[in-house]
Chain A
Amino acid sequence: MRVKRHPIIEAKEQSQIRFIFNGNEVIGYQGDTIASALHALGIKVLSRSIQKHRARGFYCAIGNCGSCHMIVDNVPNVKTCITKLEPGMVVSTQKGLGKII
């Protein structure tokens, strides 16, 4: 869900960006981070915790808390709240610890 009109913030023309989330092609916009694009699509669950597989979403949205880690282009533990969305990115829900090696 996007803000359609705002009394203070000027509207900006934004071009669409196609990317993949859990195997499906979805759309975000220029200027989005991965987390904001997913949130606009109604996707709030970004990862699962290590032991109890609890759903995790973002919390601070500015790169401090580490709650928003996802696998992006095969790289785990990417802080999606501060990573800018780029065309063709392949994003998946991270389940537990990411495999680095």
Chain B
Amino acid sequence: MIEKDLIIIGGGPAGLKAAKSALDSGSSVLIIERNSELGGQLIKQTHKFFGSEKQYAKTRGFDIAHILISELAPYKERLEIELDTTVVGLYKDHVVTTLKDDSYQKYHAKAIIVATGASEKVLAFENNDLPGIYGAGAVQTLMNLYRVLPGKEVVMIGSGNIGLIVSYQLMQAGVVVKAVIEAAPTIGGYKVHASKLRRLGVPILTSTTIKKAFGTDQLEKIEIVSIDKNWKEISGSERIIFTDTLCVSVGLSPMHQLLSMAEIKMHCINELGGLVPSISDFHETSMEKVFVCGDVIGVEEASSAMVEGALIGLVAAERIGYVHPKLTELKTDYLMQLDALRSGPFGKKSRIGLDRLKVSEHA
């Protein structure tokens, strides 16, 4: 058993910012990351981010990852990083077990921050298991990290920010996006993203959904259908689109598995993406000194994940006796930043979700 002050599970934007805050507070930190590099989903984001300067607005996602990683460079003595290491167990007695290659390790920590992020949802339709049908993030990984084209042409399901951004990135990589399909009557993501696509001649079809995919061993074509305002298919409106690649971008679900394993109290809150832990005001779960930050406590943008991480890193460190000299000032600043990011119309879903989580806790 190896004893640690603070273990952070997940080296994405939330985990990296949490590490910096905890290190600034005087704690030592172990980051455990299952991927071979830090940065989470930032490493494949080629677009410039929104938000304010504090959240690195107008900086490309992969550059933000480099910045967050380099911010940790001065802390070599108190910071340990385990890459290619998957946390396979989280236990009630603050034990964390890991697997790297074929080797298991057991750790015991005074405090733990779970920053495991979220994973792509699936959409149910006939033949949705055909090769050629991928999550939108998967297509991003393939073309931006491995520089492999997902296919010759693509249809994108989902017009949230991920669907719109990945469609634009596909066009940049030289792949034709034949259409973006959206079941709702309006486009889900930022209209500036949608406008960028429309300029390129990419049709966005709202009130439309996929009915069926066709192909022998691989996708060859899809059938789409219009839906009315009661979400019912309009018979006779079916049409075929030939394509070898279909991207499914219908939202993300928090990766809650370790929390559920430790029998931490959970609630299902749709607005936050699915199963999330019940939390105190500063994100402590029902297990003492186990905290959460980032998409695992509600799917939002990376800008929110970074600020949450920065805040929760301070709080977790304080709980184990490491108090940042500017604790109050920083906490106020981070809370204000989160408020600013969530106060507009695009933050409504998160606000509703977090309120419902509070209410569920007291019910």
Judged by CB atoms under 8 Å, the answer to whether A and B touch is: yes
Interface set of A (CB-CB < 8 Å, partner B): 1-4, 6-9, 12, 31-33, 36, 39-40, 44-46, 49, 54-65, 67, 81-82, 84
Minimum C-beta distance from A78 to chain B (A): 12
Which among A6, A36, A45 is the interface contact of B217 at CB below 8 angstroms? Answer: A45
User: Is B119 a contact of A36 with CB atoms below 8 Å?
Assistant: no
Q: In chain B between 115 and 158, which residues have their CB closer than 8 angstroms to a CB of chain A? A: 119-120, 122, 129-135, 137-139, 141-144, 146-150, 152
Contact of B335 with A by CB under 8 A: no
Contact residues in B for A33 (Cβ distance below 8 Å): 146
User: Is B173 a contact of A3 with CB atoms below 8 Å?
Assistant: yes
User: Is A3 a contact of B134 with CB atoms below 8 Å?
Assistant: no
Contact residues in A for B98 (Cβ distance below 8 Å): none
Minimum C-beta distance from A80 to chain B (A): 12
User: Is A59 a contact of B134 with CB atoms below 8 Å?
Assistant: yes
Chain B residues within 8 Å of chain A by Cβ, number: 34
| Total inter-chain residue pairs, C-beta < 8 Å | 97
Contact of B172 with A by CB under 8 A: yes
Interchain CA distance A1-B132 in the complex, whole Å: 14
User: Is B172 a contact of A1 with CB atoms below 8 Å?
Assistant: no
Contact of B174 with A by CB under 8 A: yes
Contact residues in B for A63 (Cβ distance below 8 Å): 34
Contact of B46 with A by CB under 8 A: yes
User: Is A62 a contact of B141 with CB atoms below 8 Å?
Assistant: yes
Known A-B contacts A54-B129, A60-B119, A60-B135; the reply to A36 vs B142 at CB < 8 A is yes
User: Is A40 a contact of B148 with CB atoms below 8 Å?
Assistant: yes
Which among B36, B120, B132, B255 is the interface contact of A84 at CB below 8 angstroms? Answer: B36
Interchain CA distance A1-B33 in the complex, whole Å: 30
Given contacts A12-B147, A32-B148, A81-B138, 14 further A-B contacts (CB under 8 A): A2-B149, A3-B149, A33-B146, A39-B150, A40-B149, A44-B131, A44-B132, A46-B131, A55-B129, A55-B131, A60-B138, A61-B142, A63-B34, A84-B36
Minimum C-beta distance from A81 to chain B (A): 8
User: Is A3 a contact of B174 with CB atoms below 8 Å?
Assistant: yes
User: Is B138 a contact of A59 with CB atoms below 8 Å?
Assistant: yes
Minimum C-beta distance from A46 to chain B (A): 7
Most chain A CB within 10 A, of B120, B142, B147, B150, is at B147
